[in-house]
């Protein structure tokens, strides 16, 4: 009963000058899907000039999971953030949102093929979490198995293995 009242207070706590950023973000993450009503306000925090605020907002959206699917376009935009930490966490959050982040598949696929990518392993893992029902995921991961980089091949194999374990519809 108190959760809906707590959400706005916790979202306010994400502000860099609140002095409660860590506590607020961890509390929202702990609420998981129950904090879904916070998603629009947390999305607005993604444009904060403070890197720490953007990083926490990204983590919160991933922690909320599938109810944060509406944040997918904003998280894809954060994949181009000047901060490597924010970019990495945005990719991880998309995976944590799962199939509700299906619209991110093309951007994640581009990240995997970018030779200068600093978040390639996270992008591969995110595709594995988004799952095989989303068009393109299996094709991207299977193509990634042919990469010349052993770490990339290993990450793709791990993602495919995880999908096989977690999703019933994985076919070869």
Q: pLDDT tens, 95-143?
A: 999 999 999 999 999 999 887 888 999 999 999 999 999 999 999 999 9
Instruction: Encode pLDDT of 33-92 as tens digits.
Output: 889 999 999 999 999 999 999 999 999 999 999 999 999 999 999 999 999 999 999 999
136, 106 Cβ separation under 8 angstroms: yes
- d(CA 120, CA 116) in angstroms, rounded, equals 9
DSSP-derived 3-state class of residue 81: coil
What integer pLDDT is reported at residue 169 of this predicted model?
A: 60
CA-to-CA dists, residue 106 to 51, 69, 111, 114, angstroms? 26, 16, 9, 12
Tell me, yes or no, if the pTM score tops 0.75.
yes
What integer pLDDT is reported at residue 171 of this predicted model?
A: 55
Is it the case that residue 150 has pLDDT exceeding 80?
yes
What integer pLDDT is reported at residue 2 of this predicted model?
A: 57
Cβ neighbors of 91 (< 8 A, separation 6 or more) are 79, 108, 111, 119, 122, 123, 126
């Amino acid at each position: 009963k108190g959760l809906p009242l707590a959400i706005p207070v916790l979202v306010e706590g994400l502000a860099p000058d609140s002095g409660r950023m860590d506590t607020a973000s961890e509390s929202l993450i702990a609420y998981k899907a129950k904090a879904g009503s916070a998603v629009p306000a947390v999305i607005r925090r993604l444009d904060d000039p403070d890197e720490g605020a953007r990083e926490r907002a990204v983590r919160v959206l991933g922690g909320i999971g599938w109810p944060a699917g509406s944040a997918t376009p904003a998280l894809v935009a954060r994949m181009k953030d000047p901060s490597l930490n924010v970019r990495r966490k945005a990719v991880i959050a998309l995976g944590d949102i799962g199939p509700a982040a299906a619209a991110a598949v093309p951007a994640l696929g581009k990240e995997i093929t970018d030779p200068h990518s600093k978040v390639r392993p996270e992008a591969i893992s995110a595709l594995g979490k988004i799952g095989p029902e989303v068009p393109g995921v299996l094709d991207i991961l299977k193509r990634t198995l042919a990469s010349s980089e052993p770490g990339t091949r290993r990450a793709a194999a791990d993602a495919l293995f995880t999908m096989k374990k977690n999703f019933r519809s994985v076919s070869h």
